[in-house]
Chains A and B, each alone.
Chain A
Amino acid sequence: MRSLGKYVIFMGSLFTRRETFSTYIRLITQECINVGYNSLFIVGIVSIFMGAVTTIQTAFNLVSPFIPDYVISLVVRDMAILELSPTIIAIIFAGKVGSSIAGELGTMRITEQIDALEVMGINASSYLVLPKVIACVVMYPMLVILSIFLILLGGYFAGTLTGILSSVDYLYGIRYEFIEFNITFAVIKALVFSFLIASISSYKGFFTTGGSLEVGKASTSAVTNSCIAVLLADYALAQLLMG
């Protein structure tokens, strides 16, 4: 409870004693490149392979002649939109971006760089953390949308090149009984997950004490706590929006 209270106060401190708008624009742009553009490769690779594997495994389990082939791509589509892209990519995102945020802030803390900002009269939490949180919340939903597309693309190549199903069946399946709200649901999940990952990792890094060993611990703790928070939020959102 004490940590939760400290986290809430920390989040509140992001919006006090702010810097100029132009300062934030510059910092947010830089952070968008760090958290978004620099995550494209890992998100792309993971998504394509998840799509390919999901297609093959779904086909392997749907052996009944009464189930049409296009159901395979329908299953891949719904899994990608509802769970694989927002949630599994969030776990990857926590590992890459969350640990990086905690490590960066932790190192700044133990090398007194954060103290240097405070002495200059800068609200270090607002200056360092707010741009990271905003950049994550802006960039992660875009990564999720890209991931959905790449999962479907990976599934298409795996399905058609191995002869599991035809191109026509695959394309029919991904359009069959499409529910538009699922995309909105995925974006809502992405917004919530990215906020949790950025804020928890920042919190863990910002309050690091000690030396390099503690920075490593803070990074590990940031990833662990972010993943747990994402999974809890995933369940809560599913219950809230689809239950």
Chain B
Amino acid sequence: MIEINNISKSFKGKQVLFNISGTFFKGKNNLIIGSSGTGKSVLLKNIVGLFTPDLGDVKYNERSFINGSEQDRKQIRREIGMLFQGGALFDSKNIEENVKFPLDILTDFPEDEKIDRVNFCLERVGLVNINKKMPSEISGGMKKRVGIARAIVNKPNYLFCDEPNSGLDPQTGIKIDNLIKEITSEYLITTIIVTHDMNSVIEMGDHIMFLLEGKKLWEGTNDEITKSDIKELNDFVFATQLMKQMYLR
């Protein structure tokens, strides 16, 4: 479980996040949604420690990430896996080396054990016989899958996904969503997903936080999201004709 308390963040005098608090649950797909430029990714980066909040705290199972010791932070980081928007695969390493990288840095497993684990994770995300390919030789969807394999290779307790299906066709996007959903329930990890894709919200949103202009406006489940009477949330949820037809009929 991850708790955030009163997270505020500003850049060069411009406040981007305003006192955001909330809880993200274990074994659930916790979604942070909102329009572009509303502070979703900034909030995620504050949670994983890529940014330090101006105010507030982030707690991983009661352990403070912001105010804790360097040793605590190091330990928490070892329990984190993250899927970046573009995959963020290392260009100079092949797929196997990319997935194996966290094991090389964070563990002292024997080499054959690492390779077994890498092969298991690649197989788990549906990729076989691409170990020796370079990131430039595979498609965007495959890069995301490799990114997921790298995120889960060290058996994380927390998985973070920054717009996992952006730039993908709808079918591949749904496959990636389903994969994340399966992995979350299979390994009982706390997953936080930043997205503005309503398909993902409906398909996999166990617990949803809606941000508007850096403020938390709503929190609930995907059953509740379509029944809200908050105008800004409804504008976001029913922005497409498809959603309107599905729910407002």
**Which residues of chain A have a CB within 8 Å of any CB of chain B?**
17, 19, 23, 107-108, 111-113, 115-116, 118-122
Contact = CB atoms under 8 A, between A and B. Distances in A.
A214 B84 CA distance: 21
14 contacts: A17-B70, A19-B105, A107-B91, A111-B86, A112-B84, A112-B86, A113-B90, A116-B82, A116-B84, A118-B49, A118-B50, A119-B48, A119-B50, A120-B101
Contacts, number: 46
Nearest to B78: A121
Interface size class of B (residues with CB under 8 A): 20 to 34
Contacts of B73: 121
B74 interface: yes
Contact of B50 (A17, A19, A115, A122): A115
A107 B78 CA distance: 25
A111 B105 contact: no
A112 B88 contact: yes
B109 to A, nearest CB: 14
A111 B147 CA distance: 13
Q: Which of B45, B74, B105 has the most CB of A within 10 A?
A: B105
Contacts of B90: 108, 113, 116
A119 B106 CA distance: 12
Contact of B88 (A17, A19, A113, A122): A113
Contacts of A108: 90-91
A229 to B, nearest CB: 27
A17 to B, nearest CB: 8
B52 to A, nearest CB: 12
B63 interface: no
Contacts of A107: 91
Contact of A120 (B86, B89, B102): B102
Contacts of B77: 119-121
